[in-house]
Amino acid sequence: MRNKPFISTLLAILLLLILSGCNSEQANSEEQLKNEGQENEQPSHQGMGWTHENPVTPTAGTWKALEFKDGSSYKVEAPPANDSAETKKELEDIKKLIENRTEKDVEFIKHWQNTASPNTLWLNTTEELIHKYGLMGPESARVYSVVSGAIYTSLTATYQAKYEYLRPRPTDLDPSIKLPEGMMVPPHPAYPSGHTATAWTSAYILSYFFPNEKAHLEETAKKVALSRELMGIHFKSDNDAAKTLARAVTKDIIESLKDDNAPTQYIEVKNTGSSHGAGH
C-alpha cells in the first residue's frame, strides 16, 4: 500500500488537468460568442456625443472602392474597307450633311471641338447635376469618380481600336470634303470616334445616377455624335462603333455599382445653391 499516496497524488493531478481543460474550453467558447456578438452588433455612433437629426452620408465609410476594367477588355469589329460600298455611301452621306450645314450647326461643332477635351464639357454637366440634386461631399466625389473612370476606360478602348485599324479620315479618302473655317482634322485615326465614345459613356453613366435627366443627356450625346459627321471628320460607322463601346463599358460599371453599399440613383431635386460644399 506504499503506492497509495502516489496513486492519489497522480489522480489529483489528472483531475486538475481535466478541470483546467474544461475551464479553458469554456473561456474560449465565451470569447468566441463575445466576438460574434460584437460582429453582429450595430455601431452605436455615440463617439464623443455629436448628434444631428439629418446627418450627411453617415454610411460613407462603408462604401466599397471603385474598380474599372482595362480598355483592352473591350473590342469592336473592323470598320468597312476604304474601297467598300458602305464607305463610299458614308462619304456621300457626309457630303450631303455638309451641304446643309447651318451656322447653328457650326456653332455647336466649334463648342465641342474647341475645348481642351470633350471630357471637360461632360464634367461641367456632371457638376451641374451634382449642384441641381444637392449631392454632398462623398456622394459628389463618387459620381465624379465613376464618370471619369468610365470615360477613361471607354477612351482607352477607343484608342486601342483606332491604332489597331488605322482607319483614314473621310477627308483622307475624299479631299473635296471641307471642314468649317478654322477647323482642323485631328491627328489620330477615325475609327471609333473619341468624342462620341465620351458622349455616350457620360450620358449612360449620368442617366444611371440621375434617371430623370436621361432624355436630355442622350439627346446631347446624339447631337455630339452627329456634329462629328457634320464637321466632316468621322464616318457614321465611327460613331456606331463608339456607341457600342460606350454601352459595353458602362454596362459593366453600372453592374459593379449595385452592391457597393453607396447610393445608386438621385431623383429628388435639391438645388442648394453653393451650400453643398460649404463647411467641408
CATH of the domain at 248: 1.10.606.20
Verify cis geometry, omega within 30 degrees of 0, for the bond prior to 192. yes
- Whether 83 shows a pLDDT value over 50: the answer reads yes
What does the pLDDT read at residue 69? Answer: 79
Average pLDDT of the segment spanning 227-242: 97
Mean pLDDT of all residues in the chain?
83
Binned at pLDDT 50, 70 and 90, residue 279 comes out as very low
Higher pLDDT, 64 or 14: 64
Is position 78 within any domain?
no
Report the pLDDT averaged over residues 23-45. 52
- Cell for 25? 474550453
Angle, helices 85-99 vs 236-257, to 10°: value is 100
In a domain, 262, yes or no: yes
| Distance in angstroms between the alpha carbons of the first and the last residue of the chain | 86
Residue 207 φ/ψ, nearest 5 degrees: -65, -30
CB 183 within 8 A of CB 113: yes
- The answer to whether residue 184 sits within a structural domain is yes
Among 26-40, 135-149, 155-169, the least confident range: 26-40
Higher confidence at residue 143 or residue 10? 143
pLDDT recorded at residue 21? 55
Domain containing 247 equals 95-270
Is position 142 within any domain? yes
**Model pLDDT, residue 59:** 64
Q: What average pLDDT does this structure show over 32-39?
A: 51
Chain segment 194-207, per-residue pLDDT in tens = 999 999 999 999 99
**Residue 67 domain-assigned (yes or no):** no
Least confident of 30-39, 73-82, 178-187: 30-39
In angstroms, the CA 216 to CA 268 distance is 17
| pLDDT number for residue 129 | 96
Distance between CA atoms of residues 186 and 85, nearest Å: 25
DSSP E strands, 15-145: none
pTM of the model: 0.77
Cα atoms found within 13 Å of the Cα of residue 236, Cβ hemisphere only: 12
Is residue 15 a part of any domain in this protein? Answer: no
5 lies in some domain: no
> What's the mean pLDDT in 95-108?
95
Across 58-93, b (16+ Cβ under 10 Å) vs e yields eebeeeeebebbebeebebeebbeeeeeebeebbee
Nearest to 215 by CA among 226, 203, 229: 203
Look at residue 183 and tell me whether its pLDDT is greater than 60. Answer: yes
The domain total for the chain is: 1
Q: Domain for residue 218, yes or no?
A: yes
